[in-house]
Amino acid sequence: MRISAGLAAVTIAVALIGTPAFATAAQIRGASAEQEDGAARPELARRVAADSALEARATRLAAELRCPVCQGLSIQDSPSPLALQMKDLIRTQVGQGRSDAEIRGYFVSRYGEWVLLQPRARGFNLLVYILPAMALVAGFALVLLAIKKWTVPAGERRASLPDG
Amino acid sequence: MSWTRAALAMLVAIPLLALFTFGLGRGDPRLIPSPLVGRPAPDFALPVVALADPPPGGEETTGDTIRLSDARGDIVVLNFFASWCAPCRVEHRGLTRMAERYADRGVRFYGIVYNDTPAAVRGYVRQLGGQSYPALLDPGQLVAIDYGLVGVPETFFIDRDGTVRRKVFSAVTEGQLIEEIEKLLAEPAADPDAVTGAT
């Protein structure tokens, strides 16, 4: 009985914490849809937006690229005018039959590797990929050491136990 | 025992500190170096905004088109701006004065409008006492994206070969304009082979 009450409390807390996030996400999406419809857009971008398979590709690419005028948002997630224009440019390039690598390459040639939200795994960037794994291994080692230390050998335990 | 522990702590702490020092010492993370510097400037052909009194027919552009490739052999100062951008107002006087000063020395200034309307640009130019160089409309901000624009204002210096030589983020000063233009003017005029090779 106590356990289920606790579970309910946790569920309610999580739901309460999560609600504002959903609201803002919906608002942003609404705002961007408004602007997308209002602005004059190239014909090719419009056609790609209407094609669900091509639009899915454009959306996936936009989610990989950093919005230059935002803090840590992708082009896909940002409602800023420049991000919307960049999304349209991605659509246009998709419509022109460019490959994913070509489109990514275009943005890297203009903005540098900085524009990729997921850095390429090479050179100094490798640290980003290696360090977490190393930290995990080191953490495991620490925990093992600590457990070993906390565990009192069987012989000593009997001696140290209080009478009774 | 305590010595090995101290050594172990140092082994972990020193690389971490080095990493943090490197990360924090890089300055403003928004100031990313442009990959365009040293590379050919992306070409464009853009309509010129009518900066004079609003035309009666509601025509927003003069009908002229400016092509960057036509400026080959001249030095080009490319300034991205908007009427709603505060630092643009700061740099405007210097830009318009330097454009006048260098007009007959083979230096062209172009302003490229970033996410703004011709009417607002007209009002802005009138308010700031005129502009001695053309303002160009960039529909869809395709040229801005082509130049890897992060914000306004940004100013690009393009040499006689059509190569981007420097990018200034935020308001450009008269000192920066003079310094860079004089440096590019001092370079020998490109020989014809170099011009054809740089496309």
pLDDT for the residue numbered B15 = 87
B120 reaches A (C-beta below 8 A): no
Residue B95's identity, in one-letter code, is L
Task: Please tell me the predicted confidence (pLDDT) of residue A37.
Answer: 39
pTM of the model: 0.74
Nearest Cα to Cα of residue B180 among B155, B148, B199: B155
pLDDT of residue B54: 63
The domain limits of chain B are 45-197
Most confident of A122-131, A154-163, B130-139: B130-139
- pLDDT at B33 (0 to 100): 78
Q: How many helices (H) and strands (E) does chain B have?
A: 6, 7
Asked if B34 reaches chain A (Cβ–Cβ under 8 Å), the answer is yes
Q: Does B19 touch chain A (CB under 8 A)?
A: yes
Interchain CB contacts (distance < 8 Å): A and B: 46
Beta-carbon contacts of residue B54 (< 8 Å; ≥ 6 apart): B119, B122
Residue A31: pLDDT band with limits 50, 70, 90:
very low
Give the CB-side neighbour count of residue B165, counting CA atoms within 13 A.
Answer: 19
For residue A67, the distance in angstroms to the closest alpha carbon of chain B comes to 9
A109, closest residue in chain B (CA to CA): B35
Question: Which chain A residues contact residue B147 at CB under 8 A?
Answer: 110
B63 in helix, strand or coil?
Answer: strand
Mean of all residue pLDDT scores within chain A: 78
CB contact (8 A) between residue A85 and residue B151: no
Nearest C-alpha neighbor of A84 from the set A116, A27, A39: A39
Q: Is the pLDDT of residue A125 over 50?
A: yes
For residue B108, the model assigns a pLDDT of 97
Chain A CB within 8 Å of residue B23 CB? no
pLDDT in tens, B183-194: 999 998 755 554
In words, the CATH class of domain B45-197 is alpha beta
* CATH, domain range A2-119: 1.10.8.640
Query: A interface toward B at CB cutoff 8 Å?
Result: 40-42, 68-69, 81-82, 85-86, 88-89, 108-112, 114, 127, 138
What's the rounded Cα separation, in Å, for the pair A53 and A68? 26
Q: From B54, B61, B45, B190, select the one nearest B126 (Cα to Cα).
A: B54
Tell me the pLDDT band of A4, cut-offs 50, 70 and 90.
low
Q: Which residues in chain A are contacts of B146 at CB distance < 8 A?
A: 110
Q: Does residue A13 have a pLDDT over 90?
A: no
Q: In this predicted model, what pLDDT tens digit does every residue of B48-78 receive, in sequence order?
A: 998 876 666 666 888 899 999 999 999 999 9
pLDDT of residue A109 exceeding 60: yes
Q: Which residues of B touch A81 (CB under 8 A)?
A: 115, 141
Alpha-carbon gap, residue A44 to A96, rounded angstroms: 8
Share of chain A above pLDDT 70, in %: 68
Is residue B112 within 8 A of residue B46, CB to CB? The reply is: yes
Distance separating alpha carbons of residues B30 and B20, to the nearest angstrom? 18
Task: Provide, as residue numbers in chain B, all residues whose Cβ is less than 8 Å from the Cβ of A41.
Answer: 140
Q: Does B174 touch chain A (CB under 8 A)?
A: no
Q: What integer is the mean pLDDT of A54-67?
A: 95
Q: How far apart are CA B27 and CA B197, in angstroms?
A: 37
Question: What is the per-residue pLDDT across B104-126, written as a single tens digit (0 to 9) for each?
Answer: 999 999 999 999 999 999 999 99
Say if residue A38's pLDDT is above 60: no
Half-sphere exposure of B60 (CA within 13 A, CB side): 15
Spell out the domain ranges in chain A: 2-119, 120-164
Q: Return the higher-pLDDT residue of A32 and A58.
A: A58
Closest CA to B145 of A122, A83, A123: A83
Across the range B25-48, mean pLDDT stands at 85
pLDDT at A12: 55
DSSP symbol at B170: S
pLDDT at A70: 87
